[in-house]
Every structure is written in C-alpha cells, then in structure tokens.
Amino acid sequence: MEISLAPEIIFHMGHFPITNSLLMTLIVSGIIIIASIVLRRNLTLVPKGFQNIVEYVVEAFLGLIDSVTQNKEQTKKFFPFVVTIFIFVILSNWIELVPGLGTVGINEVKDGHTILVPFIRSASADLNVTLAIALISVFTAQFMGIAAIGLARYSGKFFVNPFRKPYFIGTFVGILEIISEGAKIISFSFRLFGNIFAGEVLLIVMLNLVPYLVPVPFLLLELFVGFVQALVFAMLTLVFFKMAVTAHDH
C-alpha cells in the first residue's frame, strides 16, 4: 500500500487540479458557513439544542482568551480570529476519523502499478493547508501589532540602532526576532501537518491489518490529538497576537 506525502489529484476543473485535501477543505469550510447561517437565522432568547452548545463554547473561549489578554477590548478583537482557526483546524483534523479514510477512492495506474487514490484526506494532512493557516496567523499578528502601537514602535522590535546602548546587542536581538517570526511559520505548519499525517498513516495501517475492534483505541487517540492540536494552534495564535500588540519596551 502506497501512502503519499503529497495530496492526490482526484479530477481537474479545466487546467486546475482538485486534490482530495482541497476537496475536504472546501467541505469543512462549507460546513462552517452553513452552520453559521443556520445558527444566525434560528437565534432565540431562550437557547436550546445547537445554540446551547455554541453559547457554551463561546463563553468558554471568551473566558480563556480574556485570561490571556487581561483586556476586554483585545479579547473582542482577537476572538473571531482565534475561534475561527480553532473550529477550522479541529474539523479538518477530525475528518480523518470519517469511515472510508484511505479505503474509498478511485484506482489509477502509476509507474505500471495500480494505486488507490482516496477521496477522503484530512486537510491538516496537507502541508499546503497548514502552511496557509500558519501564514494567516503570523501575518495577522504583524498587522495587529502595527495597528495597535504604530509602524515605528512595532518595527523598533526588529530594527535597532547598533550605536545606541547597549551597543549591537539590541541589533542582534532584533535579528533574532526576525528569524523567530519565520520560525513560527515553519513550526506552526509542520507541527500540525506532522501530527495529523502520522495519525492518518497509523489509522490506515491499523484498519488494513486488523479492521475490527483493535483500531478503536487509535481512533479515540486521534480524536484527542486532533482536539489538542487545534487548541495548541489557536492558543499560540492568541499569544502571538498579544505579544504583537504589546510594545517591546513593556
């Protein structure tokens, strides 16, 4: 059985290739949009059912974000970004638990061998997707920092006059700050991709070797890992936002 690091192409729209991970990304996005519209149209003063669950999650996240920011205005500003990232990532992670993962697809001939191209592949198991989310997270933090404290003060974190006391040390620290911003993108994207892709491979192997009962603990483990990875991604984004809007001299 061949397991590819790269997402597999299912079909083409004109000259544009549609991969299984892109398809699942669109499905996850559609689920979030439709659920939001349905919730908005059915809001009631006395919550029940799905609205109850959403309000509980919103209150929990508001409290969690407020405990980090210690600022109500910042909490309101960060909340949409952080929670959207959490919801998208956790749904993308849990897609790998859908029955048929890696087993339902189309057969293609590659290098003289017939291989199965699965329809279902977690969006988080595609480095392109995790890299895109990481870029959004890091660049949004930069824009928020500039908007909050101004371009001059924010850039002062990275570009320091080498002839100002303590001489060259500030400049060196500024260079390290620039490197750390790039490192955030790499660590964000590869951490999420590595964990979910490894889990996907593990599930495919176990489901092919022992398809009954034995894979259940691994499914529960991946359910937990998917939640933890989404929470870590969202909380690190929140911390980066908070650091960005705080002047470096503070």
Which DSSP string corresponds to 136-191?
HHHHHHHHHHHHHH-HHHHHTTT---TTSTT-SHHHHHHHHHHHHHHHHHHHHHHH
pLDDT, mean of residues 181-185: 87
Rounded to two decimals, the pTM is 0.84
3-state secondary structure of 38: helix
Cα–Cα distance, 58 to 83 (Å, whole number): 8
pLDDT, mean of residues 29-56: 85
Residue count (the chain) = 250
Q: Are 100 and 119 in contact (CB under 8 A)?
A: yes
User: Pick from 209, 81, 71: which is nearest to 141 by CA?
Assistant: 81
- Chain centroid to CA 226: how far? 10
Residues paired with 146 in a beta bridge: none
Omega prior to 215 cis, within 30 of 0:
no
Q: Which residue has the tokens 């952080």?
A: 82
Give the pair of three-digit tokens for residue 157.
Answer: 């974190």
- Tell whether the model's pLDDT for residue 175 goes beyond 90: no
Q: State residue 100's pLDDT score.
A: 63
3-state secondary structure of 103: coil
Q: What does pLDDT average to over the chain? A: 82
Q: State residue 4's pLDDT score.
A: 67
Cα–Cα distance, 215 to 195 (Å, whole number): 17
- Tell whether the model's pLDDT for residue 102 goes beyond 80: no
Q: State residue 113's pLDDT score.
A: 66
